[in-house]
Structure 1
């Protein structure tokens, strides 16, 4: 099994611990993970803003970077959705990458066939399903099944879980007031759950929500944590 990590530019630049946690988790499950150094942005910001010509070189570079790998795994639903749902518009070689691309929870549950990954995380956690994972990838209950199997973790319901957090990539830039209001609603709902951790599978959403938490003054009572970091944590090697 040839597996490549697509860490994504957001994680590489701002949340490298998520990439480290993903590799640590997969290696614990017996997977050998490569990291193609040529990878860069998948082109999603440009594509979503309408700059298709500017997206094409990034698509070609990404396709070359992951050529020959049986599986491409990413801890980002939005980037996985870009490769799977939109790369087909850039030619047959780009279209071929989509079916080989898996968001992390899909890979764990559908390919490796595991939900109990041997994690230990003694915290009260609520889960926010990001829009791309929920609506474009159809992740369904995969993330929850993985969280429910974590030793010591208490999973509680998030009111209004399926509502957007307000980030939406360039939406947050073009509509800052609406975006901020949506983020505030999401954080208030998380606070109402009495969880100490707001978990998500996409750091772009968690970045937005973490900033909202900071402005609301609720850190560290409530903090954002990526799902990969929870699943990689064990009694012997706690991460967060």
Structure 2
């Protein structure tokens, strides 16, 4: 299957290795991957902050950058879910852009959803001999709607031990600008998440969302705690 690779700007700028590993995983699953180097931000940060004109401009660009009929696959449920649902608020229903969005929205997929539910792939032959715990990001669980898919893939990684933490589905405290506007509340939420992860004895906290992992990692480093973070694409690419 031929697919288009959509790399969120957050991963492009801060975690390029995760982008490359997403490419490797898709190729491992038998896909021919196309990447448009003109792609930029989908506009979610502007949208979430109420800058709808700026968000609309970026939404129009996204639709131009991904004009084909190929599935659009991304290593982030947050951006994928926003493209699927958020774009609807930006366009008049009689506009050409809205019609383009309607044709495109059903073709945007988060990586683990695409692998498990659309390719039927649950085992990529990866090997990662470590104990990990999984963080359900709000955007992935409540926004996009994935829960079992990442776990099914992780359970089939050779040598990996997956241990569920308490309150796995609770927010890590990031929430984009929430972590800045409400830093005290955010810090307590992050502390709770990390403490629950530490109780499992896991070496790594794994998630589909790089932004959550950045937030969690910042707390871990400030407190010098014995646990690391890793994007699920980086685990699945360990073959």
Is this a same-fold pair by TM over 0.5? yes
TM-score range, shorter chain: over 0.9
Rounded to whole Å, the distance in 2 between the matches of 1:144 and 1:178 is 29
TM-score by length of 2: 0.95
Instruction: Give the aligned partner of residue 50 of structure 2.
Output: 50
1:164-191 CA distances to partner (integer Å, 9 max, x unpaired)? 0000011111111111111111011111
Coordinate RMSD, CA, aligned: 0.9
Instruction: Give the aligned partner of residue 24 of structure 1.
Output: 24
1:227 equivalenced with 2:232 (yes/no): yes
Rounded to whole Å, the distance in 2 between the matches of 1:29 and 1:94 is 27
Q: What is the CA distance between 1:86 and its match in structure 2?
A: 1.2
Q: What is the CA distance between 1:95 and its match in structure 2?
A: 3.0
1:182-214 CA distances to partner (integer Å, 9 max, x unpaired)? 111101111111000000001000000000100
Instruction: Give the aligned partner of residue 115 of structure 2.
Output: 108
1:58-69 to 2 correspondences below 5 Å: 58-69=58-69
Q: What is the CA distance between 1:98 and its match in structure 2?
A: 1.5
1:41-190 to 2 correspondences below 5 Å: 41-89=41-89, 90=91, 91-190=98-197
Please give the secondary structure, in 2, of the residue aligned with 1:70.
coil
TM-score by length of 1: 0.94
Q: What is the CA distance between 1:158 and its match in structure 2?
A: 1.1
Question: Which of 192, 195, 216 lines up with 1:209 in the alignment?
Answer: 216
Please give the secondary structure, in 1, of the residue aligned with 2:123.
coil
Instruction: Give the aligned partner of residue 206 of structure 2.
Output: 199
- List gaps (5 residues or longer) in structure 2: 92-97
Q: What is the CA distance between 1:116 and its match in structure 2?
A: 0.9
Q: What is the CA distance between 1:8 and its match in structure 2?
A: 0.6
Runs of 4+ aligned structure 1 residues displaced above 3 Å come to none
Rounded to whole Å, the distance in 1 between the matches of 2:101 and 2:191 is 38
Please give the secondary structure, in 1, of the residue aligned with 2:106.
helix
1:99-143 CA distances to partner (integer Å, 9 max, x unpaired)? 110000010001110111111000000000100110011112111
User: Contact 2:29/2:121 (CA < 8 Å) preserved in 1?
Assistant: no
Q: How many residues align?
A: 232
- List gaps (5 residues or longer) in structure 1: 235-240
1:51-82 CA distances to partner (integer Å, 9 max, x unpaired)? 11111110011111111042000001110111
Counterparts in 2 of 1:95 and 1:172: CA distance versus 1, 3 Å: farther
Instruction: Give the aligned partner of residue 35 of structure 2.
Output: 35
Please give the secondary structure, in 2, of the residue aligned with 1:125.
strand
User: Contact 1:2/1:69 (CA < 8 Å) preserved in 2?
Assistant: no
Q: What is the CA distance between 1:96 and its match in structure 2?
A: 2.5
